Structure 1
Amino acid sequence: MTDQFDADELRRLAFSHGGSELYKALPPSPSSTAQLAFDLAQRLGDRGLLNRDFLAALVRVRPTFKDVLVQQHELFGGASTLNDDARACTENVSPLGPSLTAPKVPGSYFDDVRDRLNLKTLRTCQKEAFWALADYYGSGSRSAACVMAVGAGKTALGIAAVLAFTRRRALIVSPGNIIRSTFDKALDHTALGNVLYGLPGGPLIPGLRPPAVLTLDRDEGPFREIAGDALRAADIIITNFHLLGTGGDADDLLAKLAPHDIDLIVVDEAHIAASESYQRLFAHFSGARTLLMSACFQRLDGKPIDADIVYRYRLIDSIADGNAKNLRIQRFAPESDETVYEMVWPDGAREEIVGREALLALIGDERKLGRIVAKSDASIRQVMWVVRDCLDRQREVLAPVKPRVLFSALGEWHAAQITRIAKAYGIAAAYLHHAMTDRAIGAVRSRFEQESGDLDAIVQLKMLGQGYDFPPISIVVPMRPYGSFSEFYQFVGRGIRVLLHPAVVGRVGPDQQFLDVVYHAEFGLDGHIDTIYRENDMDSSTVHTSRTWGKSGPGDLPGSTGVDTATRPDTFVLFEPGSIMSRVVHDQARVEQRRLEREREALAARYAAYASTSDNPVPFDKFTQLLKVISE
């Protein structure tokens, strides 16, 4: 851990234990992080806030900080008590048991860390998933899957699983466009907020060296120059499907690694994996355990995923636990009988058509109507009016944090059209498209993502999809039909994680944060919203497509490959009266009901563990009463 990392963590502790006043009172340029730790403890003591919870958190940042505080033991009432508390903090690890550690591999990094993982730093849902995996792999099964709602922390779970269940070497396969922003960053022990040492609850591997990680990115240089020995020198290899190859070429990753070189494979965003790619991967490393992870376990091609789902953490669970924002639907519904369209015939003649049914009688294909609406200025303006209203309300709640807007578009021309109209409504916007250079894309993203940036919104063509996670996004606007539920759900999920910015912590709680989803009724997205409400999107054997947009047929299909260019339509919406229907997907009563259900499920699991080891267990109700008394 770097000094800067420690200093940032200490300031976070100041905020969490003493509030914004203490956070601001700390010296901006301390002589050392040790001095900053002592100064923080002294200020907490002056306020009567110094306690063992703070000590535990402090020691998790850097165990040697306890030595600084021992020298000032009068703050704690005695050095011996301090040392006892510190020892308890640093030794609180969870052993995994012989079924997961055997057989050991000579010289394996994982044999040194497996039994010393600090699992208490994980969130409750991550720990539940972890132990479900431990039970599954411990039984001898190999093909596991975890369905984790967006914002639940799949990356941290994946790394904990790698550290616990790998014997020799692990392979993490991630989408090529996010490889640097997810697992690579999380495993970089020098990066702020890394999973190894930088989790909010403390380090995952306290006092242990980091694993040797090799990230293979086709955008970072020639892969052909990397020899098999370099691959085998790594404890963890991170790559994407593009570099796996078929094994037929000597430069393919599958050709450079023998089947026994990998014994755990983690597939991130598994719903996007092409069937041939990951089946070929699993066949090559046939003896390896596998872990597939996704927020929505439905492949874009509609085929089910072949794995045993051992744990599910739904969106409503994430909302109830304060990890995700609730969804607030803003749906513009036109008066279909009063909508006026203009059709331009091949000879240049123009004809006004009144009413949706009259237009459908002429175009003969309901699937085209969504594209017509999506590319009509009149319809975009109706949606943009709602977006501007939502943006103003989000600004009032989140200030001084600047809420952001994320649009999706059919193609480059459509993205430019949306951007133009957004600017007309006072929304500073820019768009991304695939013809842009990496430098140009990075410049636009910086203007959007940095707090000092000048953009409120980005319009994108599937370029900020899987793995992109930016909590300040408070409004998502799908300006196109989506045939695939999983693709729609992934787009919505880009802003689902709650904001934990110091300016809103303690003032705007997770239950007060909403993600506005603004869309036009003609895009056919109602079925996808209902699927989120029903929470059956987690069923791996169910194909989720809306009735209208999922059907195949001749002509243009709604949606976009992301590289095509939307041309000017020959039919427009000229006038479109309508109304806005607003609703919260999971209301407060439903969230509270689910929270109570999860508490009872957790109690049931604890009772089962107790009853299995007791000759005369008390009844479940008595058990819960005893736990309640103990906790009080």
Structure 2
Amino acid sequence: MTIFQKVKANIDRNAALFNVQLQAYNAALAHYTEFKDWNHRETLIVMPTGSGKTGVMSILPFGISNGKVLIITPGKIVRKTVYSHFDSVQNPEKTFWIKRNIIFDRKSLPKSYLYQGYNPKNDGAKEITIKKLREADIVITNVHKLGSSNEEVNLMRLVDQDFFDMIIIDEAHHVAATMWQDALDYFKASKIIKLTATPFRSDKQAISTHEYDPIFEYTLGEAITDGLVKNIVKQEAVPGELSFTDRNTGKKYNLQDAKIELGNDFVSKSIAMSESCSKQVIEKTKTILSNKRKSYPKHQVLAVTCNDDHAQDVCRWFNELDLTATYVSVKTLSDKEIEQRLNDFANGIYDVMVSIQMLGEGYDNPNISIISLFRPFKTLGPYAQAVGRGLRKIMAPDVTPLDNFCNVVYHQELGLEKLWEYYKEQETYGQILLKQKKDLVEQLSFEFDELGFVEKKPNPYSAKKDGESEEDLSSLNASFLLDVSAFSPHNLGKNDSFTQDGIENYNQALDAVLQTEQDKLEQYRLKLQEMVDKGFLSIKEAETLLEKHEIETQNKVNTSYDTFNDLIVAESLRKDFINWVNTKLEEFFKMSSLAKEDIDLVRDYSLVDNEKINNIGFISRNIRQSLYEESKKNISLYNDADFARAKDRVIEKLSFWLKQYPKKEE
């Protein structure tokens, strides 16, 4: 039995975890419980930056993986950040498992290994590396260690195809790259879980591999509503009169003429590279930073630029305007220099970090509260990554609510308005989704006896409705440019039957056991520390006693979870089903010509009671009735096979409605 099955991680009912982390874990547990075939080995989980993806990666293997786990990150910065939460050998106290009371016994922690290749010039280096790989429960590496032609780097040259049972891919929108796909094709892992903040690759192709994906999706709006990330405020650097001069011909343009004759893209690039326009943005940034630091002095700025030369220019301009700034670049700086500058920035030595795109993913610094954009963006993905660096919430005790707002600053004429609209609507969208999910729980939990309804099947003869790169900026140079969802069904549901005495008693009993054991362990730690302080025990003696007590605590937790295991899995599957249906409904209404709040379906398909219910309520009711018609069970009584079939049925239903009401062509 592997460590991930032997050790019972304290996940269910753990108050130290975000609810979204529990939901993501439940989704993975449900998927691999319900669908065990090879065709469904890959799954997709969508979560925004700052909502706890690294924590999700930490708990995913427990109760799901039957062997070793490989975690693949897109780059060195992310790899190092992720490993810091998994380093059970050198820093067990800093692991996510210990900090969040996932595992109480440090000796029961999974062994994690940061794979970086080996030096073939050192005798026995290859054999030592293979030994470490075999001893590890979790191997963490970045994608460049998978597809290299060098044997001393390529992990696939060192281990067999069945070496891992689970692969977790962080920032999975890179999965289109050949190196990623080669690794997935090589390894025969039975479980591949992809995490991303966007369900689309950089080439705009979907990451999903089957109709059940994403198995879990948590939107930025929900994260803002739940208070897990900063909210976002936009400030433009509004210009006065803009004029442009063609460097080659000397011809002068005003703003409107330049847009007409040369195009918006050319104008936005010219503004991005312009010293005067950039200094407008810097002045605005400086004012905002000064105001924010009145309540919290550690606020910092991330500036995003077009290329290396541009980054150095912007860095110089910030310094000229009395803000300490540095930049990072993989082209002009060594790994050691980059690491030193990032550490200095994290320690508050600099006000501003200037970057191109290398901080687009995985860089974890919650003090970044201002994102200053000095480049145009064509697509949402890179724009979202840049803004995402400022969304991690500041958890310091002395912050005010205003400190947890992220300010996005850019020039008015960079052409970013459409991308900004996505963020502007996210908080409202999150509130809609939360209410929609609550209504859906009531809808799908409605109980009726077997003859208490007649399913309304759509009339196939009813009249149908009419069917309704990122550009590379690496070589951009100023010399080439101008100078310059809710529904409210009434009387449809009642309290979920799963919240009756049985499940409540289980929850109360498990909570009591876990809280008691946590309290006892903490009291014992304090007692040992007091005895060390008084000289009654040496540090080594106290450590030995604490390790023994941790083992006893972990054993009690293991026993408690074993006792309630069937109930835990059953509740996880049920919760996941509600979340999954909500996600699929959102997908449907994005692809269909139907609007949630309209009543097209009531008008087109008569109901027995002729109730005026909106489209989302109609479809939710139709799904509920269809599920009961097929299984003759309320969802609280479903087993894993029932949930698998129910998901198939939901997809069938939504596919039918989508054919009836496709999106109108624009």
Q: What is the TM-score when the length of structure 2 is the normalising length?
A: 0.61
What's 2:422 paired with?
531
Looking at structure 1, the residues matched to 501 and 118 of structure 2 have their Cα atoms a distance apart, in angstroms, of 53
Of 185, 191, 202, the residue aligned with 1:300 is 202
Q: CA, structure 1 residues 311+386, in 2 after alignment: closer, same or farther (shift >3 Å)?
A: same
**Residue 342 (str. 1) matches residue 250 (str. 2):** no
Of stretches 184-193 and 147-156 in structure 1, the one that deviates more from structure 2 is: 184-193
What's 2:389 paired with?
494
**Residue 449 (str. 1) matches residue 343 (str. 2):** no
2:44 and 2:207 in contact (8 A); partners too: no
AA matched with 1:514:
F
Looking at structure 1, the residues matched to 497 and 376 of structure 2 have their Cα atoms a distance apart, in angstroms, of 47
**Residue 484 (str. 1) matches residue 379 (str. 2):** yes
Q: CA, structure 1 residues 277+443, in 2 after alignment: closer, same or farther (shift >3 Å)?
A: closer
Looking at structure 1, the residues matched to 148 and 119 of structure 2 have their Cα atoms a distance apart, in angstroms, of 21
- The 3-state SS of whatever aligns with 1:475 is strand
CA shift digits 1:51-90 (9 cap, x unpaired): xxxxxxxxxxxxxxxxxxxxxxxxxxxxxxxxxxxxxxxx
- The 3-state SS of whatever aligns with 1:239 is strand
What's 1:16 paired with?
none
1:113 and 1:205 in contact (8 A); partners too: no
Looking at structure 1, the residues matched to 18 and 183 of structure 2 have their Cα atoms a distance apart, in angstroms, of 31
**Residue 130 (str. 1) matches residue 25 (str. 2):** yes
What's 1:174 paired with?
73
- The 3-state SS of whatever aligns with 1:458 is strand
Q: Per-residue deviation at 1:427?
A: 1.7
Q: Per-residue deviation at 1:116?
A: 5.5
Of stretches 270-279 and 523-532 in structure 1, the one that deviates more from structure 2 is: 270-279
- The 3-state SS of whatever aligns with 1:327 is strand
Looking at structure 1, the residues matched to 186 and 340 of structure 2 have their Cα atoms a distance apart, in angstroms, of 40
2:146 and 2:155 in contact (8 A); partners too: yes
Looking at structure 2, the residues matched to 194 and 233 of structure 1 have their Cα atoms a distance apart, in angstroms, of 19
What's 1:436 paired with?
333
**Residue 560 (str. 1) matches residue 473 (str. 2):** yes
Q: Per-residue deviation at 1:373?
A: 0.5
Q: CA, structure 1 residues 207+463, in 2 after alignment: closer, same or farther (shift >3 Å)?
A: closer
Of 410, 418, 422, the residue aligned with 2:318 is 422
What's 1:286 paired with?
188
Q: Per-residue deviation at 1:409?
A: 1.0
Looking at structure 1, the residues matched to 495 and 382 of structure 2 have their Cα atoms a distance apart, in angstroms, of 37
2:325 and 2:353 in contact (8 A); partners too: yes
What's 1:572 paired with?
483
Q: CA, structure 1 residues 471+606, in 2 after alignment: closer, same or farther (shift >3 Å)?
A: farther
- The 3-state SS of whatever aligns with 1:381 is helix
Q: Per-residue deviation at 1:118?
A: 6.7
Looking at structure 2, the residues matched to 246 and 180 of structure 1 have their Cα atoms a distance apart, in angstroms, of 17
AA matched with 2:46:
V
Q: Percent identity?
A: 24
**Residue 329 (str. 1) matches residue 252 (str. 2):** no
What's 1:261 paired with?
163
Higher RCO (C-alpha under 8 Å, 6+ residues apart): 2
Q: Per-residue deviation at 1:460?
A: 1.0
Q: Per-residue deviation at 1:298?
A: 1.9
Q: CA, structure 1 residues 278+446, in 2 after alignment: closer, same or farther (shift >3 Å)?
A: closer
What's 2:579 paired with?
none
Quote the RMSD (CA, aligned, Å): 3.4
Q: Per-residue deviation at 1:147?
A: 0.9
- The 3-state SS of whatever aligns with 1:500 is coil
**Residue 382 (str. 1) matches residue 280 (str. 2):** yes
1:169 and 1:235 in contact (8 A); partners too: yes
What's 1:609 paired with?
498
Of 406, 409, 415, the residue aligned with 1:518 is 409
Aligned pairs for 1:368-407 within 5 A:
368-398=266-296, 401-407=297-303
Q: What is the TM-score when the length of structure 1 is the normalising length?
A: 0.64
CA shift digits 1:313-361 (9 cap, x unpaired): 11122222221110001123446xx42112222xxx63332x2232245
1:170 and 1:237 in contact (8 A); partners too: yes
Looking at structure 2, the residues matched to 323 and 279 of structure 1 have their Cα atoms a distance apart, in angstroms, of 32
AA matched with 1:517:
V
Looking at structure 1, the residues matched to 54 and 222 of structure 2 have their Cα atoms a distance apart, in angstroms, of 18
CA shift digits 1:474-523 (9 cap, x unpaired): 1001110122311111111112111112332xxx13x6521000012322
2:174 and 2:202 in contact (8 A); partners too: yes
- The 3-state SS of whatever aligns with 1:301 is coil
Aligned residues: 447
Q: Per-residue deviation at 1:155?
A: 0.7
Q: Per-residue deviation at 1:371?
A: 1.3
2:45 and 2:215 in contact (8 A); partners too: yes
Aligned pairs for 1:12-91 within 5 A:
none
Q: CA, structure 1 residues 432+211, in 2 after alignment: closer, same or farther (shift >3 Å)?
A: same
Q: CA, structure 1 residues 207+253, in 2 after alignment: closer, same or farther (shift >3 Å)?
A: closer
1:476 and 1:495 in contact (8 A); partners too: yes
**Residue 143 (str. 1) matches residue 54 (str. 2):** no
Q: Per-residue deviation at 1:215?
A: 1.2
AA matched with 2:243:
V
Q: Per-residue deviation at 1:407?
A: 0.3
Q: Per-residue deviation at 1:203?
A: 4.2
